[in-house]
Chain A
Amino acid sequence: MIHFNDVTKVYNGNVKAIENMNFNVEDGELVIMLGPSGCGKTTLLRMVNQLESITDGDIMLNGKSVKQSNKIEMRRNIGYVIQSNGLFPNMNIEDNAMIVPNLLGWDRKKMRDRFNTLMELVGLNPDQYRKRFPHELSGGQQQRVGVARALAADPPVMLMDEPFGALDPIIRTHLQEEFLQIQKELKKTILFVSHDIDEAVKMADKIALLKGGQMMQFAEPAKMLNKPANSFVAEFVGQDRVLKSMSLYTVKDLATALTLKPVSESLEAQNINENLSLRVAISKLLNQEADQLIVENNNGTNKGSITLDLIEQFLHREIKESV
């Protein structure tokens, strides 16, 4: 859907901000651009909707060059979410969320229905918030409206610039999870900027790790964690990268890959739902809450047990496989 072809950005004739960037964001994929400040991730994002010009190369959006597209028309077909939400204080929540449909000339009834649907989707009561103003909402609520606004005209592509960066950790985690649910349902093509490796591991289908305007690695989160391409990537993802990668797998993944052990009578046991992440499982085992975890599915059926040995075995296997 979004193809970066040799994209280069040069400032003032000699400062190279982006150098020969090549990668693709496929349909329905969420790609997170990650990197330290000044690595060019935001510039790259803003080049897609032409808020920044492209010095050399091109970006193809659905097969069409963004350089040659009509900027205004193109932007109306791209959802855009920024860190500081950018809601307009002079408009109420409904007018804010419906600004693009309004520009596109939708009729009132259609806009009202769309507003109701979107607000339900982002977890806000439409009638309670319709006539409120941005300053009356909390940061988290404002950002939900920001997401709703970006989704308003149902654009196939979304650009998100650290959308959850300004929120406190608890609210951020909530919004990340809710947004993943929304994305599961809507399957938008999303390019997302973040500086938080945990956020990237949790949300991305693929991560593009940038440094100084160059691509360090472009890979699935598991691969990046298990097999960093170079020392910069290894350092950026952190020395605890193996632990981080644990949150990418569920207990079910392990159960599918390996045979679970029979439940041992002599070991202390606890139950764990198969949809929980291995990170939770490992934490439970290390916490001495139990020496084995009895895996059960949503109906409570016992499927066998896991121990630290088994997780270790699974890890070795996964790391080897992703090599």
Chain B
Amino acid sequence: MERTNKIIALIIKLVFWGLLVAFFVWAFTNDMFSTIVEQPDTFFRLLGEHVTIVLLSGAAAVLLAVPLGIFVTRPKFRKSEWLIIGIANLGQTVPSLAVLALAMGFLGIGISAAIVALFVYSLLPIIQNTIAGIDSVDDDMIDAAKGMGLTNSQILWKIELPNALTSIIAGVRTALVINIGTAALAYLVGAGGLGVWIFTGIRLFDNAFLMSGAVPVTLLAILIDYLFKWLQFALVPKGLRLARKAQNS
């Protein structure tokens, strides 16, 4: 059973990589990335804008959402959970384009509108994963820690956060990967980014523009995804990583 699963997984991987290679062969032979080759300066500027929008909005979201998640899991403030989740939910439920439009309404055209919109958009997954991570910490563990005389902040830093870290990082990873895609819409509020080439390509029916914008966005998303996988590996305590592995095997 396990053997057949492995074989199926291998076949799927091979097919996937095969298609990917075929795509790039096709793209290069048809000069799909000619725009990048012809205008490298513009490409790096757009890429820079794209990354700036994603990272700044992401960093701001982490700085607000993680503390908020911790805040609502404190027993004293537990009652505020519905309010905070409700507000964050609102940011997430409104379509990304509408959030961008609203942000532009307040902040005018430019990069700040895009950053604020994506920031709002990233809050919910990070808050939710922070809360879920902290809630998943075994009550008996907390009880033992309290009984041994750890203060509340020691319990948070030594027990709750290390044990919730996997979940928190997963939340940030989800938010950022979604944001890389959504940041392509930033062009619509005049914030630049690789969306500029994607939308130009759509308007002109020009595949070279389209691919030169879309492929780097995709690669960026994959890169960030791997980066966070590595971050998870590096930051999550070894014992938890091993325990998870042992549980899965």
> Which A residues are closer than 8 A to B by beta carbons?
49, 51, 71-78, 80, 82-92, 99-100, 103, 133-136, 149-150, 159
Contact = CB atoms under 8 A, between A and B. Distances in A.
B141 A76 contact: no
4 nearest A-B residue pairs (beta carbon):
A86-B144, A75-B149, A76-B149, A80-B147
Given A89-B163, A90-B159, A91-B237, A75 B148 contact: yes
A86 B239 contact: no
Contact of A86 (B141, B154, B162): B141
B148 A76 contact: yes
Interface string B122-156: 00000000000000001011011111111100100
B14 to A, nearest CB: 35
5 contacts: A78-B147, A82-B140, A83-B140, A89-B240, A99-B150
A92 B239 CA distance: 7
Given A76-B149, A149-B148, 8 more contacts: A51-B143, A73-B149, A74-B149, A82-B147, A85-B144, A86-B145, A103-B148, A103-B154
A277 B237 CA distance: 49
Nearest to B152: A72
Contact of B148 (A85, A89, A99): A99
Contacts, number: 81
Contacts of A71: 149
B64 to A, nearest CB: 25
Contacts of A77: 149
A5 B200 CA distance: 82
Contacts of A72: 149-151
Contacts of B238: 133
B237 A90 contact: yes
Nearest to A132: B239
Interface residues of B, number: 25
B242 interface: yes
A88 B140 CA distance: 10
A88 B146 CA distance: 13
B141 A100 contact: no
Contact of A159 (B145, B147, B163, B239): B147
Contacts of A136: 242, 246
Nearest to B154: A103
Contact of B147 (A51, A87, A91, A135): A51
Given A133-B239, A133-B242, A135-B239, A88 B147 contact: no
B242 A135 contact: yes
A92 B241 CA distance: 12
A49 B53 CA distance: 51
A86 B140 contact: yes
Contacts of A159: 147
Given A74-B149, A100-B149, A133-B238, A89 B144 contact: no
B243 A88 contact: no
Contacts of B163: 88-90
Interface in B190-226: none
A80 B162 CA distance: 22
A80 B142 CA distance: 12
Given A51-B146, A51-B147, A90 B242 contact: no
A145 to B, nearest CB: 12
Nearest to B163: A90
A99 B240 CA distance: 18
Contacts of A49: 147
B112 to A, nearest CB: 39
Interface in B11-54: none
A301 to B, nearest CB: 49
Contacts of B242: 133, 135-136
Contact of A133 (B140, B150, B151, B243): B243
Contacts of B150: 72, 99, 103
